[in-house]
Amino acid sequence: MTDGVDGSGDRQVAVVLGTRPEIIKLAPVINECENRGVDCLLIHTGQHYSDDLDRVFFDQLALPEPDYNLEVGSLSHGEQTGQMLAGIERILEDESPDAVVVQGDTNSTLAGALAATKLHIDVGHVEAGLRSFDREMPEEVNRLAADHISDYLFAPTEETRRYLERESVGGEVFVTGNTVVDTLYEYRDTVREKSTVLEDHGLSAGDFYLLTAHRAENVDDEESFERLLTGVARFAERTDRPVIYPIHPRASARVEEFGLEIPEPIRTIEPLEFLDFLCLESEAALTFTDSGGVQEETCILGTPCVTLRYSTERPETVHAGANCLAGLDPDDIVEAAETMIEKDGDWTVPFGDGNASKRILDVLVAADGADAEKMEALT
């Protein structure tokens, strides 16, 4: 690869990812490496279930093929993280990158950060500082551990920066905005031209609801899953609109295992490609979700959101008026939906201006050669 305009062509950054949200959020970082001539070593852990669907995400985001794919797949937390840690460590020992970038709160995030820090390689954590304050969530444990062993913490908002400072993390904190804004701003204006998902499913813009539910605490417990579906279906019946549910493989397995009947207003479909899902998020009248990423995306896209959890690591979406925590009680879900359906999407996006990836690369490039003066200016 040729030198970039900033002369950073001899610097190598390893990017570790393993889930579709990580692909979406790290895509602009990978592209910015290309723009600057920074050699990007791409390590895919294979954490998510569908290799084919992951490949579509790479294609639609115009990303290079991973240099390595560990193909770990779905295992228990300990087995999955352990296999990733061993595999990533071997790669880092062979390649000796200058820095390792991880994103978010997955087992891939934790394994990548641990492998790098034990080899004394700098770690940059994208989307650092998120807190649900619920340690029953495995993601909360992952993000806490990653934050406290990272050298560069890329906080998406001032609120996340404050959380990190209160915890006295050892690394340097930079408020960059959220890279998901970079991705959505690039694709939101053209997605409707390229996606036929509304026509394919007989939907009209603004006349359907979107549901995503996959978290273990929701779908692995039969009563919780049933209450969630009941609340969403009750609101859909009341307002005479269908609910589209791209069902996650984990949730689909639990529906079959529990013998659950999906209520009639909820239509399950196969998991979607990136552009199709983005189209549904953009055109839905309301989204029900237990996903942190969907809370962010709908906030950015101007779609009201009801979160089917009792806590969130994205409180900025609630403060902005884009999101409401409903929990799992059916009456509470209906009440939250009645409140949010009245929103017109006219809120201020709290996650930055779409230039997060540029700020992240500014830090990683300045770190080359320990440019203390430039690093100080970036904090």
Question: Considering only CA atoms, which of 150, 148, 140, 147 is closest in space to residue 117?
Answer: 150
Query: Tokens at residue 175, please?
Result: 């408020």
Q: Fold match between 12-178+352-378 and 193-340?
A: yes
- Tell the residue number behind the tokens 């408020």, with chain if given: 175
Residue-level pLDDT at 373: 56
Residue-level pLDDT at 145: 98
**DSSP conformational letter for 122:** E
With left for phi above 0 and alpha for psi between -120 and 50, is residue 196 left, alpha or beta? alpha
Specify whether the CB–CB gap between 125 and 147 falls below 8 A: yes
Rounded Cα distance, 154 and 368, in Å: 17
Specify whether the CB–CB gap between 360 and 153 falls below 8 A: no
Residue-level pLDDT at 3: 41
Specify whether the CB–CB gap between 36 and 361 falls below 8 A: yes
Angstrom distances, CA of residue 93 to CA of 83, 103, 115, 116, 119: 16, 21, 10, 9, 8
Specify whether the CB–CB gap between 210 and 244 falls below 8 A: yes
Angstrom distances, CA of residue 259 to CA of 187, 251, 376: 39, 12, 58
**3-class secondary structure, 1:** coil
Provide the β-strand partners of residue 44.
17, 69
Provide the β-strand partners of residue 267.
244
User: Which residues fall within 8 angstroms of residue 29, CB to CB, at 6 or more apart?
Assistant: 15, 101, 103, 126, 179, 357, 360, 361
Rounded Cα distance, 179 and 181, in Å: 5
Specify whether the CB–CB gap between 182 and 355 falls below 8 A: yes
* Strands 39-44 and 68-69, sheet pairing: parallel
Rounded Cα distance, 156 and 167, in Å: 17
Query: Tokens at residue 22, please?
Result: 């990580």
Question: Considering only CA atoms, which of 276, 277, 278, 329 is closest in space to residue 306?
Answer: 329
- Tell the residue number behind the tokens 């770690």, with chain if given: 123
Rounded Cα distance, 379 and 375, in Å: 7
Single pTM value for the model:
0.88
- The domain segmentation of the chain, as residue ranges, is 12-178+352-378, 193-340
Q: Which CATH architecture has domain 12-178+352-378?
A: 3-Layer(aba) Sandwich (3.40)
Rounded Cα distance, 326 and 295, in Å: 13
Provide the annotated active-site residues: 214
Residue-level pLDDT at 237: 98
Residue-level pLDDT at 26: 97
- Indicate if the alpha-carbon torsion angle 224, 226, 229, 231 is positive or negative: negative
Which fold, 193-340? Rossmann fold (3.40.50)
**Averaged pLDDT in 10-residue chunks for the chain of 379 residues:** 48 95 95 97 84 76 94 88 97 98 97 98 98 93 98 97 98 98 90 89 97 94 98 98 94 96 96 93 97 96 97 95 98 98 96 97 83 58
